[in-house]
Amino acid sequence: MSVSLVQKYNVPGPRYTSYPTVPYWDEASFSDNQWKETFIRSFNESNATEGISLYIHLPFCESLCTFCGCHKRITKRHEVENPYIEAVLKEWQLYCDLFPAKPLIKEIHLGGGTPTFFSPEHLEQLITGILSKAEKATEYEFSFEGHPNNTTREHLQKLYNLGFRRVSFGVQDYSEKVQIAIHRHQPFHNVAKVTFWAKEIGYTSISHDLVFGLPFQTLDNVIDTIEKTNSLSPNRLAFYSYAHVPWIKGNGQRGFKDEDVPKDDEKRKLYEVGKTLLAKKGYHEIGMDHFALEDDAMYHAFKAGKLHRNFMGYTASKTQLMIGLGVSSISDSWYAFAQNEKELETYYARLAQNELPVYRGHVLTEEDLIIRRHILNLMCQFNTSWQNDDLYFEELPEVLEQLHEMELDGLLQIKPNGLVVTEKGKAFVRNICMAFDLRLKRKTPQTQLFSMTV
């Protein structure tokens, strides 16, 4: 990896879990009625053939991890569990009342927060309540995020019995110094224990989430973490770049200084060395910051050109309609995005009024839909094409002109009707997507909104 390229292209940029990105949503022209119209349209177009996805946000954590930028509520009071489960089930009922037919569920993902903050009994109450209003697709995938410190064998067995076959364990880094800095005290023994339990019970896809670029993290730390991870052989893993965004209110990124965080070439080397060690173990790089063994569904999806990316990250299958349940969740009807209330009390109050708790959103224009497809292609397959007229847009010549310098730097190849990201360019795929991001180009942010791209 060229030192000069990292320094040249390491700028603030979106991670493109959506397009348009959230700061560029046209909230002023969005309405609850528009959201209802778009998700009903999407339901009618896709429910019978592919089903829908559910993302359920479970926001509670017993302690604050200071690397985390997610929406969460810190508490040790577990009496909050039942009211929250009942609220989510009421929200689901409000959607079911609007659906023209019984929903067919292809995917459920429990995210957080810490889903395993909830007792196995309450998680069973949640899932059985969801499924009582729906049918499962023939090839469904249910997954959840587990904290190695509080995921019990009972959690794993109960969710397995309910149809869950994929679990993701948050690891981050095994260095004690790094763990102290990010307030995530988690010994290797705990991760190994829950990984072995999941294998014994029969989970077919076990994932570990690792993070590079954390405060005080060194190359030796990354090597040690990767070697320990390799010894457990998870089916897939994410090796995320730490998004240092301390200016965002409430994200908890405190307890260390900016100079404690690896940057630029030092940070990128952590990833490159980690990737090399993973490749030796048989892991293939999938999309951006993700890896999978050849027996995993994500690898097969990538090879078949079916990998998808949404607010849950990369997924091996896609649905046109994804409903987000719970506080701060984001829904995606393909034609529009909608985000729920971020404050728990407001979320409860809206549901008490029998209202969908949506507080902002965006209806995609025809141009948005075209750009969204290009960015999805680049993020998921490292190429895109405008051979068909429905993927051509007026500003394409200007976009290609902007990409010319990246082509000279060997990051991509521009062809007559498309472009391909090179192996060298995969590290800069966010930068390549930014060239297509017309909303970002038309309104350059005056303050920093995004983490660094490399």
DSSP element (H, E) containing 171: strand 164-172
Confidence of residue 74 (pLDDT cuts 50, 70, 90): confident
Each residue's pLDDT tens digit, 251-270 = 454 567 778 888 888 888 99
Q: Rounded to an integer, what distance in angstroms lies between the CA atom of residue 328 and that of residue 341?
A: 5
The closest of 40, 55, 93 to 329, measured between CA atoms, is: 55
With beta carbons less than 8 A apart as the criterion, state whether 30 and 360 touch.
Answer: yes
What is Dmax (Cα atoms) for the chain?
61
What tens digit of pLDDT does each residue of 418-428 get?
Answer: 999 999 999 89
Q: What is the mean pLDDT of residues 285-308?
A: 92
The answer to whether 165 touches 215, Cβ cutoff 8 Å, is no
Distance CA(87)–CA(342), nearest Å, equals: 14
pLDDT band at 249 (very low <50, low <70, confident <90, very high): low
Instruction: Tell me the helices (H) and strands (E) count for the chain, helix number first.
Output: 15, 19
Nearest to 18 by CA among 373, 438, 381, 414: 373
User: Helix, strand or coil for residue 79?
Assistant: helix
pTM score, whole prediction: 0.92
Residue percentage of the chain with pLDDT more than 70: 93
Task: Let me know the angle formed at the C-alpha of 173 by 170 and 175, rounded to the nearest 5 degrees.
Answer: 140
pLDDT for 332 beyond 60: yes
Confidence band for 448, pLDDT divided at 50, 70 and 90: low
Q: What is the pLDDT of residues 78-96, one digit of tens each?
A: 899 999 999 999 999 999 9
| Number of neighbours of residue 42 by Cβ within 10 angstroms | 21
Q: Does residue 247 surpass a pLDDT of 50?
A: no
User: How does pLDDT run across 178-221, given as a tens digit for each residue?
Assistant: 999 888 889 999 999 999 999 999 999 999 999 999 999 999 99
Task: Name the band, by pLDDT with cuts 50, 70 and 90, for residue 133.
Answer: very high
Give the CA distances from residue 123 to residues 63, 120, 161, 361, in Å, rounded to whole numbers and listed in that order: 20, 5, 12, 29
